[in-house]
Amino acid sequence: MNRRQFLSWLRRLAKTAAAGVVGLAGSRWLRAGFLGAEAAPPAQRPIRPPGALPEARFRAACTRCLLCGEVCSAMCIAFPSRIEGSQPPLRRAPGAMERQELAPPVWRGDDTPYILPWKRACNLCMRCGEVCPTGALRPIAVDRQTIAREVRMGVALIDRKVCLPWTRTSWCGACLTACPYRQRAITVDHQGRPTVHPEHCVGCGLCVEVCPLRYKAIAVDPPFAPDRGAVRAE
Amino acid sequence: MILRGWLSRRRRRWPGGARKVQVLRRTLQLLVLALLFAIPTLSLYDNLRNQRDEVGIQSRWDTRLVHRLVADLEEPKALTQAVRGSVWTFKAGELVISDPLAVVDFVAASRVPWDRFLITALLPVLLSLLLGRVFCGWLCPADLLFELAGKARNWAGIKTDVTFSRGTKTAVLAAGVVAAVILGNQVFAEIYPPRIVGAELYLWITFGTFGAGAWFFLALIAFEIFVSRRFWCRYVCPGGALYALLGRYRLLRLEVDPVACTECRLCNVSCELGLDPMGGRFGQDCNNCGLCVRACGHDALNWRLGLPPSGGVDRLGHPESGVAAATPGEPAP
């Protein structure tokens, strides 16, 4: 090896080392970003923002512009790439087994909007429908009656084998307090045990957010199946 | 010694016309990139402020900075809510501008002939009809990053350059439309680098995580550096194909002065997209970036505003007859 070859070898070595250092530092930084998966309590599923079209039409119309997430005043609209620990809806709640069969698999990580109510629930500000350029989220007037009539993000299901009043563990009432349609969508009996009335529930998930149990005793079951609309309309 | 060389190169001369155009182009591209950083930060600040979350605002350096800037204003919302979105769908006040590819994707997936959303692509479509692939070279944030990847490629001395057919991207566009119609799901959004850059920046700033698109974009950058130069823009990009088709009969074109041209091929070497401006064979793929105009040492290459070539154009937008014979040089092998 002569001097010229040695120098060019040195140069290549320096370049390779520099690339390696940059790559290692970069991979650490990227891992920190990429591996932040959403962790869900069991029996929780993401729901669509309020005013969303039926699932098939929503996926066709949503242009993945992320505007709904930008304007979301509750900062609840997320674009999860994957959710660890999320399961089909509650097994023990009445009717949940049937709905589980209806629910199609959800392909996440395609930058369509979801709400993860166990992290942050929707406060029904309706800005997302206002900003959506394609009408995948319909604009709905910010009005209690209109919202109660038009919004069906899902229906809350209570797991009676976990819920504090239902298991006679303690008094609670957190879901009743958080519910924007309290005494209609959620009522409690004389023993403080909550019941959801599906015909009044808009599925905002505020009850899920405030449920004090680590493994939430309440979940929102999204109407992803196409024939859920007919069931809800009754 | 290296530093001295760099300085002397910098001092060479004040930019002339073609160099000023490059300064303008880089400024625009950097502005778009800066907006892609700024818009999610402003939105995040706006939402935190709506929730009166002072702790949340103060716990991040970027929202803290925004807070310092807008806290004293009479109407902070006029600034923090002024602009939304990214290059895929941009919203300034009531004005919504979206990428024509988004509209194509929407129409194909939802199978509707008309929607209010179609109007939002009007402005880009008109500009592309007049100026060609000008969005690719002047506004696309991915173009800037791909050009940086090209710099890294040159720096590392990588010579491998796999070439494909230029018509591939039109085939990708057609295949994507068919797939969107069949699946009923938008497909271009997932593979369109400008949207991915904007979306990933938004996800990173807002949630601190990246999505699947970041992996895809990193793979593209690696492929650009190690395998094929600017392969995405040249051969694959469905958006580039759409803009190229729109700009097929555009009015802004390059023109070679056959007297001044010395056939040095500096323009062909400088072309990021590997076109042949010296032979007049740049076709519909030219994104009007102006690198070839800057490279020309004899002012033989310039822009011309006028009607498209009279003899018609072939599949790739090259002049069919007449013009090619009059210009010097052979098409690049």
What band does B98 get if pLDDT is binned at 50, 70 and 90? very high
pLDDT of A30 higher than 80:
no
Contacts of B210 in chain A (CB under 8 A): 30, 33-34, 81
**Facing A66 at nearest CB: one of B117, B199, B218:** B199
Neighbours of A33 (CB within 10 A): 16
Q: Locate A20 and state its tokens.
A: 């390696």
Which residues, other chains included, contact B145 with Cβ-Cβ below 8 Å and sequence gap of 6+? B197, B221
Using a CB–CB cutoff of 8 Å, tell me whether B189 touches chain A.
yes
Digit-coded pLDDT (tens) for A170-218: 999 999 999 999 999 999 999 999 999 999 999 999 999 999 987 788 8
* Residues of the domain holding A49: 38-233
Instruction: Of A219-233, B157-171, B196-210, give the lowest mean pLDDT range.
Output: A219-233
Distance separating alpha carbons of residues A58 and A52, to the nearest angstrom:
7
Paired strand residues for A84: A39
Contacts of B212 in chain A (CB under 8 A): 81, 109-110
Find residues 33-52 of chain A whose CB sits inside 8 Å of chain B. 33-34, 36-37
* Subunit contact B185:A60, Cβ cutoff 8 A: yes
Q: How many CA atoms lie within 13 A of B118 on its CB side?
A: 9
Amino acid B13: pLDDT: 53
Is residue B165 within 8 Å of B274, Cβ to Cβ?
Answer: no
Q: Is residue A208 part of a domain?
A: yes
B211, B214, B217, B219: CA torsion to nearest 10 = -110
B303-320: average pLDDT:
76
- Which of B45, B186, B218 is the best mutation test for A, with the most CBs of A within 10 A? B186
Q: How far is CA A211 from the centre of its chain?
A: 16
- Whole-number pLDDT of residue B5: 52
Strand partners, A182: A186
Q: Return residues 88-107 of B near A (CB < 8 Å).
A: 88-89, 91, 96, 98, 102, 105-106
Using a CB-CB cut-off of 8 Å, the residues of chain A touching B109 are 59-61
Q: Give the per-residue SS3 of chain B.
A: CHHHHHHHHHCCCCCCHHHHHHHHHHHHHHHHHHHHHHHHHHHHHHHHHHCCCHHHHHCCHHHHHHHHHHCCCCCHHHHHCCEEECCCEEEECCEEEECHHHHHHHHHHHCCCCCHHHHHHHHHHHHHHHHCCHHHHHCCHHHHHHHHHHHHHHHHCCCCCCCCCCCHHHHHHHHHHHHHHHHCCCCHHHHCHHHHHHHHHHHHHHHCCCCHHHHHHHHHHHHHHHCCCCHHHHHHCHHHHHHHHHCCCCCEEEEECCCCCCCCCHHHHHCCCCCECCCCECHHHCCCCCHHHHHCCCCCEEEEECCCCCCCECCCCCECCCHHHHCCCCCCC
* Predicted confidence (pLDDT) per residue in A16-28, tens digit: 888 888 877 776 6
Cβ burial B264-278 (10 Å sphere, 16+ → b, else e): eebbbebbbbbbbbb
The residue ranking higher by pLDDT, B103 or B18, is: B103
Q: How many domains does chain A divide into? A: 1
What pLDDT score does A226 carry?
A: 40
How many Cα atoms occupy the beta-carbon half-sphere of A138 within 13 Å? 13
Contacts of A109 in chain B (CB under 8 A): 211-212
- Mean pLDDT score of chain B, rounded to an integer? 88
Q: Does A134 touch chain B (CB under 8 A)?
A: yes
CB contacts of A65 in chain B (<8 Å) are 85-86, 88-89, 98, 102
CATH class of B251-326: alpha beta
Within a domain: A172: yes
Q: Is the pLDDT of residue A31 over 80?
A: no
Average pLDDT, chain A: 81
Could you give the CA distance from residue B255 to residue B264 in angstroms, rounded to a whole number? Answer: 16
Report in angstroms the alpha-carbon separations of B333 from B191, B276, B279, B288, B296: 31, 10, 11, 22, 20
CA nearest B48 in A: which residue? Answer: A73
A218 in helix, strand or coil? strand
Q: Does residue A17 belong to any structural domain of this protein?
A: no
Contact status of A105 with chain B (Cβ, < 8 Å): no
What is the DSSP-derived secondary structure letter of residue A52? B
Distance from CA of B57 to the nearest CA of A (A): 14
- Interface check for A27 against chain B (CB to CB < 8 A): the answer is no
Amino acid making up residue B111: R
pLDDT tens sequence across A136-178: 999 999 999 999 999 999 989 888 888 899 999 999 999 999 9
State the pLDDT at residue A105.
42
Does B111 lie at the interface with A, CB-CB under 8 angstroms? yes
Is B37's Cβ below 8 Å from some Cβ in A? no
For residue A127, give the chain B residue with the closest CA: B47
Q: What is the pLDDT of residue B328?
A: 46
Predicted confidence band at A89 (pLDDT cuts at 50, 70, 90)?
Answer: very low
pLDDT tops 60 at residue A34? no
Would you state the structure tokens that stand for residue B249, as one six-digit string?
């009969």
Quote the DSSP letter at residue A42.
T
Residue A229: its pLDDT value, please?
36
The partner residue sitting opposite B210, judged by closest CB among A33, A69, A75, is: A33
Domain ranges within chain B, ordered by starting residue? 86-247, 251-326
Contacts across the A-B interface (CB distance below 8 Å):
118
Taking an 8 Å cut-off on Cβ atoms, the answer to whether B51 and A75 are in contact is yes
Task: Measure CA A58 to chain center.
Answer: 16
* B316: contact with A, CB 8 A cutoff: no
